[in-house]
Amino acid sequence: MYTQGLDALGDESLHLPEEQLAELEARFQAKIDADEKIEPKDWMPAAYRMTLIRQISQHAHSEIVGMLPEGNWISRAPSLKRKCVLIAKVQDEGGHGAYLYSAAETLGISREQMVEQLLTGKAKYSSIFNYPTPSWADIGAIGWLVDGAAIMNQIPLCRCSYGPYARAMVRICKEESFHQRQGFEIMMRLCEGSTDQQRMAQEALDRWWWPSLMMFGPDDANSKHTGQSMRWKIKRFTNDELRQKFVDVTVPQAEFLGLNIPDDALVWNEETEHYHFGPIDWDEFQRVLAGHGPCNQERIRARIEAHESGAWVREAALANAAKQSKNL
């Protein structure tokens, strides 16, 4: 699959003699080992390029599809202040998608190709965005847990070996940190409120806890990309390491809110100084990835409709750009 993709990208190194390729690969790995950044014009192994295209485009799609569950509440936010904050947050996610598509484009794939892969189901996006947001408390839970998990995963990506991705992540992480705090603040207000509001907060935590743990990807034994991605310093921690960090940070926050994590097996382990948590339902994870989560179809339908109804905007922008370049 990689080779086909690279032929389409016109990768000339595919046709180099073996010794020359080995030398290029050794120099490339030495650069990574020395913690230097790889930039778009540098030589890179075909598989490194394809791994980045997969990961960055999946990440970009996640940001764009991730606008939908929260966008659902913009028209029904409980106050003007909450509405303004939510609009700003959803707009930030759109911006993150735009930086990430640009970072992926530096690897030789076009935005049109990536969008086509999303809309035809060839490309994945994060499993988490296939869950519904039936109450306002879900907006708090998304900010607190989903953005919280996203930050845990993305802070190390600021040190990723690929320069454009690492640099995009710096700004994204700053914004995600504001998003996480606004979510936690929504949860705090609900938890200080009436019994009904506290119940809403608990139900939202019950809905989002396990899907948030799944965001970190399959466990290490089943993560086919982690080993190589760590050697290339695309990933700095394994899926399980990041998931554990997230649990360790989040459990005390839930205690502070007076909420119960929906996991009977959750217990602090004095020896390891980590929380031990119960088994994740990997069958559910695989079902969601295969397109059978609660909202997969709705999400893709919404993206297709947005793409089709936005066609005139893209045409107008291109016509305007052509006109401007003639005037130069």
User: Does 204 help bind ligand FAQ (rule: CB under 6 A)?
Assistant: no
- For 313, the token pair is 């905007």
* Cα–Cα distance for residue pair 234/60, rounded to 1 Å: 16
User: Does 147 help bind ligand FAQ (rule: CB under 6 A)?
Assistant: yes
Q: How many residues bind ligand FAQ (CB under 6 A)?
A: 29
Those residues whose C-beta lies under 8 Å from the C-beta of residue 147, and which sit 6 or more positions away, are: 176, 179, 180, 183
HSE-up of residue 27 (Cα within 13 Å, Cβ side): 9
User: Does 287 help bind ligand FAQ (rule: CB under 6 A)?
Assistant: no
The residues facing 45 across adjacent strands are none
Of 22-30, 42-50, 60-68, 103-111, which part binds ligand FAQ (CB under 6 A)?
60-68
Q: Of all helices (H) and strands (E), which one includes residue 255?
A: helix 239-257
Phi-psi region of 80 (alpha: psi -120 to 50; beta: other; left: phi over 0): alpha
Of 1-9, 62-70, 265-273, 300-308, which part binds ligand FAQ (CB under 6 A)?
62-70
Residue with smaller CB distance to ligand FAQ, 84 or 230: 230
For the segment 224-283, give every residue that binds ligand FAQ (CB under 6 A): 224-226, 229, 235, 239
Least distance between ligand FAQ and beta carbon 168 (Å): 11
Out of 57, 62, 133, 182, name the contact with ligand FAQ by CB under 6 A.
62
* Cα–Cα distance for residue pair 106/93, rounded to 1 Å: 20
User: Does 127 help bind ligand FAQ (rule: CB under 6 A)?
Assistant: yes
* Cα–Cα distance for residue pair 280/106, rounded to 1 Å: 36
Q: Which residues bind ligand FAQ (CB under 6 A)?
A: 54-55, 58-59, 62-63, 66, 93, 124, 126-127, 142, 146-147, 150, 153, 214-218, 223-226, 229, 235, 239, 289
